Each structure stands twice: as C-alpha cells, then as structure tokens.
Structure 1
Amino acid sequence: MPQPKPTKFEKVYVETPVDTDGDGKRDLIAVYIKRPLVSQPVPAVYVANPYMLHCNEDWYTLYDVNTNIKAYPTQDIDEKDIQYTYVPKVLDHRPIHGEVDENRMSEPTPDQYECISDLYDHLIDRGYAAVFSAGLGTKGSDGITLTGSHEEILAFKSVIDWLNGNALAFTNREDGIQIKAHWCSGNVAMSARSYLGTMAIGVATTGVPGLKTIIPEAGISNWYEYYRHNGLTLPAMDWQGDDLDILARYCFSRALDPQDYPTIQSRFEKSQKQLQEQEDRESANYNRFWDERNYLKHVDNIQASIFVIQGLNDWNVKPDQGIRLFEAMQAQGKECMMLLHRGQHIYTYHLEGAPTLDLIDRWLDHYLKGIDNGIEKGPRIYVENNLDQKQWDTYTVWPPVKDRFFEFHHPEATFMDDLSLSVYDRKEKNTKAWLDQLVTEKNAFSYRLPVQSIQTTSLFSGRAKIRFRAKINQPTAILSAMLVDHGKQCRLTPELDGDENQHFVFKQEKNPSDYFVITRAWMNAQNRSCNYKKEAIDPDTFYTYEMEFVSNDYRIEAHHTLVLILYGMDVDQTQLPYTKTQITIEKDSIELFLPIKATD
C-alpha cells in the first residue's frame, strides 16, 4: 500500500479589501494550507468554506410558513430600480512589521481544522496544495457574515490574490508579520459542494487572475432562485421556513468565542436586521439585495473554465442552479463541462461506475498543470441514466432535446387551493400522503391533464415551459405545476446503498411504484409579468401565466403516461396559507413546451 507523501500544514491570515465589522481596518480571514513538501512550486485547489470552525446549531430556527400570502396593489417598480451596483470603500493596508520564511511556520492544532472530504488528500498525493479558507465572521477571523454578498466574494477572492502575490497575509492577527506563498505556482482551482461551490462561482465572476478553473458541486449561481421563485418564498424542499438571514446567523461562528463575541455582538445584530429587511420575505420580489447575489449576471467576466457537477434529484440546490450556469458558459463559448448524477445533495467520488473522480483528475491536470490529456476535446455533458445507473449518457450540447409544442383542447376547469381539502396535516407534515393524493387520486384541489401516452421509451431532457390563462377569486394566489411519469415500474431512487465516503450505488425499488415526479414549477399570481413587481388581480379577469419548470434529464418507459397537474400551494416547497382560493383555468388555454423525444 503506497505511503502518504510528506506534507506541511500551516495557517495564515489573509487580508481582504473589505471592512464588514466597521472597525476601520481590513478584515482578516483564517486560511489553512496542506501542501506537499516538494522543491518546486505547486498549483493549489482552494475551498472557500463559510462553515469552517463549527456553526451556531442552536440559532438555526426557521420561519413559520403557515401564513397567508400578502396581497399588493400594482407596484410601480422599474428594472433599473432593482439593479445592484457595488461601491467600494478605500481602505489602507494593514502595516507590515517584518516577513517570515514560510518554512518556519508552526502547524495549527488538529482541532482548528475541518477537512471537507477525502478528495483533497487524494489531490495532495497528486501534487496539489489544498487551501481551506474560513469566511468573514467565522471563529478566529474578522468581519460579519453577509451571505452571498459582494463583500463575501471579495474576501474569498483575496486568497487567490495572495497565492499570486497580489494580496497580503500574516502569521497572526496582531503582529503584522507578513508571509508569502512562494510554494504556489499561481495556478489555482476552486471546488467543493453547496455553499462552498457557490463561493467558487461568485469568485469566478470577478475574473480574478490565477483562477484557472472551478468545480462547483451543487453550487448556487443565483441566490434568489435558491430562496425565492417568481415572487414566492421557496427555499430547499422541506425547508420552507429557511432564509438567507438564518444561514448568515448559522455561519457566524465568532459567536462561539466567549471573548470575541461581546465585542461584535451589536454590529452583528444590526447586520441581521438589515438582512431581514433587504431579503423581503413579505413580498418575495427580486430586488437589489438579490441582484447582488445573482452571479449569472456576470458570467461574461469569468476567465476560468468550469466543470459543473449537479444532482438531478437535488431539491436542496435544484438542478437549474448548475444547469443555468453551464448554459450561460456554453452560450458565450467559454470552456465548460457538466456531470449530472441521480443523487440528491451528495458527493459522487465513490459512486460505483461514476466517471466523477477520473474527470476531476484529468480536468485539474489539464487546467492547472497544462497536461495535454484531451479532456477539453471530449464530451461536454455526462448524465447518469435513470433506467440503468451503470450507463452514463454523453451529449455535446445542452439541452440535447429540442422543445415540442403541445396544445390541448380541454374544458374550463376549476379547483380550490384549500389545504383542508387534502389529507395534509400541518402538525404531522405528512407530505408523502399529500403527494400521493395529489398525483394518483381525483381531488378538488388540482387539475390533472394527460399530456402524452408514451408508446416507446422517450427522453425528457431540458427545461419545460407552460402557458395558460386563469381567473382567481382572491387578490393573490400561489400557482404550481407538476409533470409526472405515470406507470408501474421499479424505479431507481436517490437513496444510497453503501457509504457516500467509501463506496455506494443508488437503491432500486423492490416493489413497483405508481409514479415519479419529473419536475415542478411555481409562481406568485401577482408576479405574472416579472419577478420584481406585483400586479393587482381582478377576480373577474382571465390573465396569462407562464412558468418554466426545473430542468431534468429523465427517460420515460413505454406504455407510461406523461401527466400535467396544476394546483396551488405546494406543501413540499411553498408557504401554506389558510386562504381558500378558487382558480379557474380558461378553456383550451393550456400550452406546453416539452423537451421530449422517442429514443427507441
């Protein structure tokens, strides 16, 4: 068995260009480095981790979602009113009182360091340094947690600047003893999952020199689409009460230091109030706060290549977070690749038969070491097949299937958005029973329409859209839609058989299930024109509503039926109002645009 190569482990404090705690000095953030002991400079794989050094578990309290949706008169909001512009503050650098040889740095104690996954030990053995940065407001660092903000992005960017000799770092927070990254070649990648992968996307949009590639796994490219959707509060599935201020509070680990927290408490509490006001749960409109956190707007600034990794059954960071980033890169002719697996919010390095780790190795070797291994000339997209998890389909472009237009002749249809008509119990939160009733039973709280009888195995791959006209008897309403594969089948599930960190496959159902929800869509009926303003609803008027579904890649077996369901509140995703709302779908008004084609 090969022995691990000798490594050095050290901690530095990188100077950022921001002062989020208002003390008049540039914030310092703690950075941990694990690198091979070699004579030549090495490239670095960098993880920006706001969760480092523990979190405030007791502070993670959710908002009550058993509340009515607020109705608004027509709002006079222009697109220019919601555009964010960053105004930097000019801050002096911290004084330097000497420089230390990096080889003389003492190693931090193990309890100060939290590894992300075993991927990084693997990469160190392959000749890369692993760099882990705690964020603003974390224990041992300066600043305040302002989740997703431009300040947070600039702070994490400063680590890459330091690795390239363009920023300062110190051996500690007090003495001004500078340390330089002579060991780094200047070629840097960013990687990791979820919030960590999100920071990689945000930093890439700054165009920072030295960042050659990023590998975001289930990273957020648009925070509005993570916590909101078309004028609704709509965070991760089963976490409807979550919001950005809660995440900022959760990650503010300076609160875990009994000596440090009292010095910053009032400033932190003020920032929390500002986050709550600006995120605007009440209207859930897109605004300047969310525009600041929409990294997709700045894809044209990206100089790095991107390898997107995303779970198609991830209803935490939904598939479109990664897919829309890939689409934007693809549209601009930038270097990009995408891997879509059947899991939820997981790493797939140890998924049996998955190409994930091999692709990562080759991708990093090419973009950080300059090795000509052909990775940039191969398939652009890898997708795990839902009918056979050992099969990985490859595409050259996304979406691989062009939209087909479906127009329906149907009678006028009326349903009630009234949770009391369903089996759902607000205390028990029996979401599976509600979903079974919605999908398989005739009920008064939805409208079901067969779309297509599948004659031969068909591929649904891309982003579906729906347009319809509806009349609503309340001043506001939630509108939801669902596309469902109906038919008995032992389906592949996102549940793991094995250990995510060792070896696993996805479980196959032992008994046939009746259906699978391919995708969903949602909107606030008052946001029928755009996501940044509300329009009044006349109860006697039919309005046109148009929604995009979350993207997916899914094969439907022959003799199944593709079914559309229109309904109101979604107990898995939306607020749960007490209002009883009648929704009437105008006759022959439903139009669908589906990325579907026969494969046999």
Structure 2
Amino acid sequence: MTPAPRPVGTRARVAVVLVGLLVAALPAAPVTAAPGAASPGAAQPAAGHLPPPAHVVGDQTVPAYSYADAIRESVWVETRADTDGDGVRDRVAVDLVRPREAATAGVRVPVIMDASPYYLCCGRGNEGELKTYDAAGVIAKAPLFYDNYFVPRGYAFAAVDLAGTARSTGCEDVGGPAEVGSARAVVDWLNGRARAFTADGRPVNAAWSTGQVGMIGKSWDGSVANGVAATGVPGLATIVPISAISSWYDYMRYQGSLVATDYPGYLHSDVSGRPEAACAEVLARLRADSADETADYNGFWAQRDYRPSAGRVRASVFVAHGLNDLNVTTNQFARWWQALAEQGVPRKLWLHQAGHQDPFDVRRAEWVAALHRWFDYWLQGLRNGVMDEPRVDLETAPGTWTTQRDWPAPGTRDIRVALGAGDGVTGTLGGRGARPGREQAYVDGSLFEDEVVAEPNTATAGRLVFLSGTLSAPLRISGSPSVRLRVRVDRPTTQLTARLVDYGTAERLLLSGAGGVRTLDTESCWGASTSVDDACYRDTEEVTAVSDHAVLARGWLDAAHHRSLRFSTPLRPDLWYTVTVPLNAYDAVVPAGHVLGLVLGQSDPEFTDTDDRDATVRVDLGRSELILPIAGHGVLPAVDVAPSVVTAPADPSAARTARDTRQVP
C-alpha cells in the first residue's frame, strides 16, 4: 500500500518550500520523472537561498502576471485505451491557459485541472458556461473563474474534455476505467509520462510544468477527480471534489433499488461528442453490464467504486458537499471521507446547508480564499498554516458557519432508539419501546414525500410514523443514521424507505427549485478578464422560508438485497427477516421544542423506479430500532404516547405522477 502523505509540520516541509523556489528559478526542461507520494511542492532536495518568483510574496501567491497576455493552447493527450475500436489510441483535448511571463523567465508552474464531460454539451457553473475557441481552434474562453483567478498568481489551468466528449476521441464509459484513464493521462503528460500533440499532429511536451497537479470540479467533474486520485497516479498533489460521486453504484442504485432505468446509457448519450455509430458498442455494453434487471453490485459497478482504493490515494483531498443534496446524496462524501480518514490522507471538508450547489454560489468570498490558500500550500509549497486550522467548516443554519476538528463531530456516539406502539396510529421513539412480538403492519401506498411525512398523528395508509417526545434541549445529529427492522413481507421483495424528520416551525432553506440558492441581478468579479472571458459572475444568495417540518435524512433498500448487494434473496412470507436501511449522512441541530420523527414507507415514485409494489409489511416493533449518531450529551426524552404535531397537509390538488428520476451529476 502506498504510504499516506507526510503530514505538515515535519522537517521535510521546510525543504519543500526551498525546493519550490529553486524550481521556479531553473530554466525549463522536459519533465522526466514523477514526484513521489504527494507532499506540498516539488520533491527534490533543497539548495541555496534563491529569490522567490514574482508571483510569491511571503506565504501566498499574488496576481503578478497578465491574464490577457497568457499563453492559450490546445493539445491532445494520448491515452492508453482505444475505446472506439478504430485501431488508434484515444486522445483527449486539453485546453491550457498559463502565464506567459513565467514561461519567458523559465519559471515552471503547477496546474489546476478540471476534467469534465460538460464543456460543450451542457455547460459549467451556475450560468452554464461553455468553452469557446478562436478561429484557429485554440481556447478563447474557459468556463468558471479558475483560470481568471489563478493564472495571474502563477498557476496554469487545464480544462480537459473527457474521452468521448466534446473535442476528444474515444467513448465515454460513465465513471469507468476509460473515463478515469483519460484524465489520468493528462496528469501523466504533465509529468513527462505520456505523449501529446497539437491539432496538426506535432508532438508537444509540458516542460513548463512543475508536475504538481490539483484537480477540481463539481459533480461529475469532481467524481473524476476522486477516480483519478484512487489510481494513485504520481504528480496528483491534491483534489477538490465538490458534490462528487465516490461510488457510481450508490449514485444509480439505492441499496438495490433503481434510481432510474437505463441511467448509464442516459448519461453516456447526454454527454457524448462522438457520432452515434462510433460508440454504439460501448453504449450497448453499458446497458448490458449495469444489469438493471437485477440491480446487483457486480464487476461493472466495482470498477466505478473508488472507495476500496482509498489506500492508493497520494493526493490530499478537500471535499465540499451540500447536506441537502438530493442529486449526489451525502453518503457519497461521507463514505469517501471515512475511507480517506482510515488511510491517514490529509483532508479538509466544507459542508453547507444547500442542495447540489458549488460553495462558490453559497459562500463565495470565503470559498475563493479557502481554495487560494489550499492550492498555495499543496501546489506551490507555501507555509500558510492551512493544515493547522480546524479540518471542517460547517454551515449549521442558513448563513451561520462554524468550524470543528473533524466530521462527524468529535464525541459523536451511536444511540439505539426503541420503537413504541404509541396510540396505535402514531408510534413513539425513545423510552422503553414495545415488547418483542408487538407488531404493526402497513400496505404499500407509493406515497410521495410530502404525503408520507405530513400530519404524523393521522392514520395514512402506506406508512408508519414514530415520534419522539418534545425535546427539552437541542439535539445534535452528526453522521449516518440507520434503521434496523424486523420484518415479514408477503411478496418476494418490496422497497423499504425511511425518513428522519424534524417536526417544528423554523426558518429553513427553501430547497425546492434551485436547491436553496437564488441568482441575483448583480455581479462580482473574481480574477482578471479579457474581452471574451470575463471573471464576473452573477451574485447568489440563500433563500429561506418558514416551514413546519423538514426531512433531514432519507434511506432506501430493496428488501431482497438485505443480505448482500451482490445478489438478491427473495423473501418468504412465512419468515421474519432482520434488515437494515441506511439513511443518508446528515448534520443538524434539532432545536428544543421540536419533535424528531421516523417515517417508514415502501415504494417511492419520487426518488426511485420500482415495480415491486402492493406488498404488506409487518414490523416487529420490539425487535426494531433507530440507530442515531448523537453529538454531545443529547438524549431523546422517554415517551409512551406520541405528542401532537401540527403540519400543513399535503396539497391534494398537486399533480403526482412517477417521474423520470434520472439527473446529470
């Protein structure tokens, strides 16, 4: 196993800074060897006391170079794969922007890289920016602010079209080896280990690069960064995955339940930049190997699961995620974060209250400053203390941020919460709970979320509700809850769903629509501009509204996959089974005076696609429980009868039909 990166504070850290200054002063030469395990700056012996390059002042980089005069070039990097079967290795398009003055002075620079399938098909960022090119086919405008802000500060920016997308050849395999390999090939080229060519076929090297690369990106882009880091490629010093996937199975399957049919095929077709015939075979394999008919975790999904390879990660990792992200759900960051922690990978975490949003559109100034310091440390080798600060930035309420040592919150413990029968309509959470053998049954109602959680004291077919007593003190939930159920089912399988609900009036983010964020008419600028590529973006703000309840965490399970996700075990109606429904990770404080609720349902047409309906499920309350990660000394009050909770009823006039749940990550 590759050793974890050396933590900050060792004597080698001082050498790293001196090496960065030495390398900056050397004349450009081809890169022939990759750095070793990731540590800040270049990995060569320190020598002498040389003046820093123009873009370094003290412990930070400054905008010393002209963005308007930057070198802009487009190259095609050769990968190791031939995914379209044309007998020629795939080539991925890399559009580069780098400081001309640094190149003239022989100062090598590190690279910030965003590898994406979206540059020409769909756009990047809140304003959906696309790449644009000049008459010669060279990059004129790259989406987002990374080049505008960082190129004047002594970085190069690389906007990479993944294999099979935009101007690259090959075929997109949706999170698979070809996709990850196409981005890895660019890191290899920046370290002298791969070939690249201009549009007219001339070989080109990256002699201007220090070999230190930082990958960044939101959603699919950040997922690629996770995948490349999991290969252990030398030279990848850091990654910043934003709202990113760490397991494509968990993105398209919720514990054996389909999120949507033909999801890999849908995504492939959505981003492909190739003629349909060129990738027909790859598309057919995606559809066959993903195995919609079983929803099993198989070899196809194992190739797209980056978590087991956390031990190979050499890069540091700066994760950002929305706690209410219903596209790339929170288990994607939480399980990756845990795997990285077990390997001792240097890491940092930002968690905000919004949905599938970039922190640039949640807390803009602070996010840009955080990225600046992170890249300065890991790519420029500057001792700015970023790794001595609290590891986690957490938004605890709209606009309210705090820091903490780690996540879940230090001191968090799992408590087991018993389920009680209550008044026979609404059960209870906490207290002694029911005795074993005390059963409640419910029939699948295919309820939408607003129906399943509203009016918890009312009998509603298709659900079971359990309420805590009214909280006498705030209750901090931090981590990944789960529900352990003892069930008997009269069908070979059914979907089981669980929701953790905060019942109580509060001002919360309005998560419908744009995921809690509104775009304003004003703009702010983050970096330098040209006539065709400005650094100005429309401002945003979080949108709040007073509501009487909020769903905190959700979980789904195909009951026939209760033993393993690799195979199904049909249920016998005469047998009882113990199943666990994992809920998405969350972090929240439920205020005093509120009530915590657990709501159980079955098929969920709003979030999943299943034909397993009409089952009756019997639950042995005395052998079932909620496992709740609680920080501090919070407790659920004992309760024998559920308190009365008032919520607005679900709108009976709302049109509710099962929708296509497929989204683009």
**Interval containing the TM-score (normalised by the shorter chain):** 0.7 to 0.9
Q: Is 2:494 aligned against 1:469?
A: no
Shift in CA distance, 379/418, structure 1 to aligned 2, threshold 3 Å: same
Q: Which stretch shifts more, 365-374 or 439-448?
A: 439-448
Q: Is 2:25 aligned against 1:8?
A: no
Residues 479, 523 of structure 1: 8 Å contact kept: yes
Structure 1 residue 382: deviation in Å? 1.1
Deviations 1:40-78 (A, max 9, x none): 11111011111222269xxxxxxxxxxxxxxxxxxxxxx
2:517 to 482, 490, 496: 496
Residues 189, 206 of structure 2: 8 Å contact kept: yes
Deviations 1:94-126 (A, max 9, x none): xxxxxxxxxxxx966579666331233111222
For residues 188 and 505 of structure 2, what CA distance do their matches in structure 1 show? 55
Q: Secondary structure at the match of 2:284?
A: helix
For residues 549 and 314 of structure 1, what CA distance do their matches in structure 2 show? 13
Q: Secondary structure at the match of 2:318?
A: strand
2:119 alignment partner in structure 1: 52
Structure 1 residue 7: deviation in Å? 0.9
For residues 450 and 344 of structure 2, what CA distance do their matches in structure 1 show? 46
1:396 alignment partner in structure 2: 406
2:548 alignment partner in structure 1: 514
Residues 466, 591 of structure 1: 8 Å contact kept: yes
For residues 587 and 377 of structure 1, what CA distance do their matches in structure 2 show? 47
| Aligned counterparts, 1:355-374, within 5 A | 355-374=366-385
Structure 1 residue 498: deviation in Å? 3.9
| Aligned counterparts, 1:476-495, within 5 A | 476-494=493-511, 495=516
1:346 alignment partner in structure 2: 357
2:418 alignment partner in structure 1: 407
Residues 189, 195 of structure 2: 8 Å contact kept: yes
2:533 alignment partner in structure 1: none
1:563 to 576, 597, 605: 597
Q: Secondary structure at the match of 1:531?
A: coil
Deviations 1:313-341 (A, max 9, x none): 11101112122211111111110111101
Q: Which stretch shifts more, 487-496 or 151-160?
A: 487-496
1:136 alignment partner in structure 2: 163
Shift in CA distance, 182/441, structure 1 to aligned 2, threshold 3 Å: farther
Q: Which has the higher contact order (CA 8 A, sep 6+)?
A: 1
For residues 157 and 439 of structure 1, what CA distance do their matches in structure 2 show? 51
Residues 285, 532 of structure 1: 8 Å contact kept: yes
| Aligned counterparts, 1:91-240, within 5 A | 115-172=142-199, 176-234=201-259, 240=260
1:538 alignment partner in structure 2: 572
CA RMSD of aligned residues (A): 2.3
Q: Is 2:355 aligned against 1:321?
A: no
1:547 alignment partner in structure 2: 581
Residues 230, 531 of structure 1: 8 Å contact kept: yes
2:263 to 234, 243, 250: 243
Shift in CA distance, 458/15, structure 1 to aligned 2, threshold 3 Å: same
Q: Residue type of the partner of 1:395?
A: R
For residues 352 and 363 of structure 1, what CA distance do their matches in structure 2 show? 16
1:596 to 590, 615, 630: 630
Q: Residue type of the partner of 1:36?
A: P
Q: Secondary structure at the match of 1:403?
A: strand
Q: Is 2:85 aligned against 1:22?
A: yes
Shift in CA distance, 308/203, structure 1 to aligned 2, threshold 3 Å: same
2:48 alignment partner in structure 1: none
Residues 456, 598 of structure 1: 8 Å contact kept: no
Shift in CA distance, 504/176, structure 1 to aligned 2, threshold 3 Å: closer
Q: Residue type of the partner of 1:160?
A: V
Q: Secondary structure at the match of 1:197?
A: helix
2:618 alignment partner in structure 1: 584
Q: Residue type of the partner of 2:109?
A: V
Structure 1 residue 251: deviation in Å? 1.2
Shift in CA distance, 161/107, structure 1 to aligned 2, threshold 3 Å: farther
For residues 216 and 261 of structure 2, what CA distance do their matches in structure 1 show? 28
For residues 141 and 242 of structure 1, what CA distance do their matches in structure 2 show? 24
Q: Secondary structure at the match of 2:543?
A: strand
Residues 327, 398 of structure 1: 8 Å contact kept: no
1:448 alignment partner in structure 2: 465
Deviations 1:458-497 (A, max 9, x none): 2111011211101111111000111100112222334224
Q: Which stretch shifts more, 588-597 or 212-221?
A: 588-597
Q: Residue type of the partner of 2:539?
A: H
Aligned residues: 521
Structure 1 residue 246: deviation in Å? 0.9
Q: Residue type of the partner of 1:206?
A: T
Q: Secondary structure at the match of 2:249?
A: helix
Q: Residue type of the partner of 2:589?
A: R
Residues 43, 128 of structure 1: 8 Å contact kept: yes
For residues 588 and 322 of structure 2, what CA distance do their matches in structure 1 show? 12
2:272 alignment partner in structure 1: 252
For residues 203 and 67 of structure 2, what CA distance do their matches in structure 1 show? 30
Q: Residue type of the partner of 2:90?
A: D
Q: Is 2:306 aligned against 1:295?
A: yes
Shift in CA distance, 43/157, structure 1 to aligned 2, threshold 3 Å: same
Structure 1 residue 241: deviation in Å? 4.8
1:85 alignment partner in structure 2: none
Q: Residue type of the partner of 1:217?
A: I
Q: Secondary structure at the match of 1:339?
A: strand
For residues 337 and 551 of structure 1, what CA distance do their matches in structure 2 show? 17
5+ residue gaps, structure 1 = 57-105, 235-239, 255-260, 423-430
Shift in CA distance, 497/269, structure 1 to aligned 2, threshold 3 Å: closer
For residues 498 and 138 of structure 1, what CA distance do their matches in structure 2 show? 29
Structure 1 residue 354: deviation in Å? 6.4
Residues 5, 36 of structure 1: 8 Å contact kept: no
Shift in CA distance, 435/124, structure 1 to aligned 2, threshold 3 Å: farther
5+ residue gaps, structure 2 = 1-62, 124-132, 420-432, 524-536, 635-665
Q: Secondary structure at the match of 1:366?
A: helix
Q: Secondary structure at the match of 2:339?
A: helix
Deviations 1:181-209 (A, max 9, x none): 12211111000101111111111111111
Q: Residue type of the partner of 2:273?
A: S
Deviations 1:130-152 (A, max 9, x none): 10111111243211111111122
Q: Which stretch shifts more, 3-12 or 474-483?
A: 3-12
Q: Residue type of the partner of 1:323?
A: A
Q: Residue type of the partner of 2:224?
A: M
Residues 252, 263 of structure 2: 8 Å contact kept: yes
Shift in CA distance, 317/300, structure 1 to aligned 2, threshold 3 Å: same
Q: Residue type of the partner of 1:567?
A: G
Q: Residue type of the partner of 2:617?
A: I
The alignment's TM-score, normalised by the length of structure 2, stands at 0.74
